[in-house]
Amino acid sequence: MKEHHYHQDTLMIHEGYVDKEHQGSLAVPLYQTSTYAFETASQGEKRFSGVEEGNVYSRLGNPTVRVLEERITALEKGGATLAFASGMAAVSAILVHLTKTGDHILCSRGIYGCTFGLLSLLEDKYSISHDLIRMGSEEEIESAVTSNTVCIYIETPINPTMELVDLQAVMNVAKRHGLKVVVDNTFSSPFLQNPIEFGADFVLHSATKYINGHGDVIAGLLTGKDGEEIQKIRGSVQKDFGGIISPFDAWLLLRGLKTLSIRMERHTANAEVLLRFLKKQDLVDTVYYPYDVDNPQYEIAKRQMRAGGGLISFTIKGGKKEAQQFLDALRLIKIAVSLGDAETLIQHPATMTHAVVPERQREQMGITDSLLRLSVGLEHVDDLMKDLEIAFTQVGKTIQHQS
């Protein structure tokens, strides 16, 4: 199946699966095995040379995992993909692959908390340095490149303020300086954004989020523009660090992927309704959403994202107390970290996902005590609105009572 023949929606359901056993199984078979029998001399080629074709041991490759990897390669328009046991296993694999002692990594100022932790570890143990910068323009990115910079590592949209990094600007700088570009595409999913189309070398996902979409798997994916380079990582960092995905989790991801496009459409449609609703609330100061006509970065959003997706952040009048009161008043919407599930989740970044970030840095990034992040789920949007409305009324009453 060649990807250019089919739309993304079709690839999510079919790509990479051939019924080699001729059993007629429509679902991809689950090869829950750790090892594979070698053939005897009379059976054929899989012998003892150490470079056998085919399956040897599941840390090196598994037929169920392979279907997932091919499907993601098609969706991200890359050369090849590796599946990992977590998003962080994918992040650490690519950073270990690209760097050595003395190198420098240039990062967007907002990155996932554990990625930040990993960068500190690389710095402390291996003297691999990094800078987190605002990347507001091509000049700003260029001026932060040093003689030992080897790669640019970004997230866009940035959690939780939905700030965007202009992919084209990053690629222009990377090209001039011969730098590799890695994009953590978790927030958009391959349905909304394909950084390889803009020239990124690597795209990674916490598949725990939208790709699985059902809140029951931890997994990661790394796609490379250059398939051969990915195969090198398969035979080195992935094989020897060993953070591979289990066949069953790969199977669950294949199942989740079938509905990625319709889920993303619904996440987005619900988010758009809630965006209008939140903007009308007296108790809301600011709403952050990529596809908002009032967003100063709306033009960038339209250039690199097909739609706004399911994440919205907003600030509530008052501070930490009001934010927490608001959360406590919700019934249907669950207080939880993570995102991209069928269930709508809400969290308070200053005390939850970003509690470890020093306060000054948090403030620079716009993560105030009154900021809340919603991962809009797949429920009926009227029920979500009602839940939010009740919580706003409750907080409003308390504020009135106090004044």
Ligand X SMILES: *Cc1c(COP(=O)(O)O)cnc(C)c1O
Of 304-323, binders to ligand X (CB under 6 A) are none
State which H helix or E strand residue 324 sits in. helix 320-328
Question: Before 296, cis peptide (omega within 30)?
Answer: no
Per CB under 6 A, the list member of 220, 310, 318, 349 interacting with ligand X is 220
- Residues 77-96 close enough to bind ligand X by CB under 6 A: 86-88
The catalytic position among 6, 46, 59, 320 is 59
Measured CA to CA, the distance from residue 130 to residue 125 in angstroms comes to 13
Within positions 111 to 170, which residues make up the interface with ligand X, using CB under 6 A?
112, 114, 155, 159
Nearer Cβ to ligand X, position 152 or 283? 152
Catalytic residue list contains 124: no
Taking the complex as a whole, how short is the minimal distance between the CB of residue 276 and ligand X, in angstroms?
26
How far is it, in rounded angstroms, from Cα 189 to Cα 345? 17
Q: Residue with structure tokens 């990062």?
A: 107
Alpha carbons 20 and 27: distance in angstroms, whole number = 13
209 binds ligand X (CB under 6 A): yes
Measured from the CB atom, is 186 or 347 closer to ligand X?
A: 186
Which of 58, 208, 295, 368 touches ligand X by CB under 6 A?
208
| Active-site residue flag, 303 | no
The residue among 186 and 297 lying less far from ligand X, judged by its C-beta, is: 186
Q: Is the dihedral of CA 107, 111, 112, 117 positive or negative?
A: positive
The amino acid sitting at 289 is Y
Distance between CA atoms of residues 167 and 157, nearest Å: 11
Question: How many residues bind to ligand X according to rule CB under 6 A?
Answer: 15
User: Applying CB under 6 A, does 206 fall inside the site for ligand X?
Assistant: yes
Surface-to-core class of residue 285, CB atoms within 10 Å of its CB (0-12 exposed, 13-18 middle, 19+ buried): middle
Question: Is there a catalytic annotation at residue 112?
Answer: yes
Instruction: Work out whether 184 is an interface residue with ligand X (CB under 6 A).
Output: yes
Is-catalytic flag, 382? no
How many CB atoms within 10 Å of residue 382? 9
Alpha helices by DSSP H, 340-380: 359-364
3-class DSSP assignment, residue 237? helix
How many Cα atoms within 13 Å fall on the side-chain side of residue 225?
13
Residue 90 or 150 with smaller CB distance to ligand X: 90
341 binds ligand X (CB under 6 A): no
Shortest distance (Å) from residue 114 CB to ligand X: 6
Nearer to ligand X, 78 or 87 (CB): 87
- The one catalytic residue among 103, 166, 184, 292: 184
- Where in the sequence numbering do the catalytic residues fall? 59, 112, 184, 209
Contact footprint for ligand X (CB under 6 A): 86-88, 112, 114, 155, 159, 184, 186-187, 206, 208-209, 218, 220
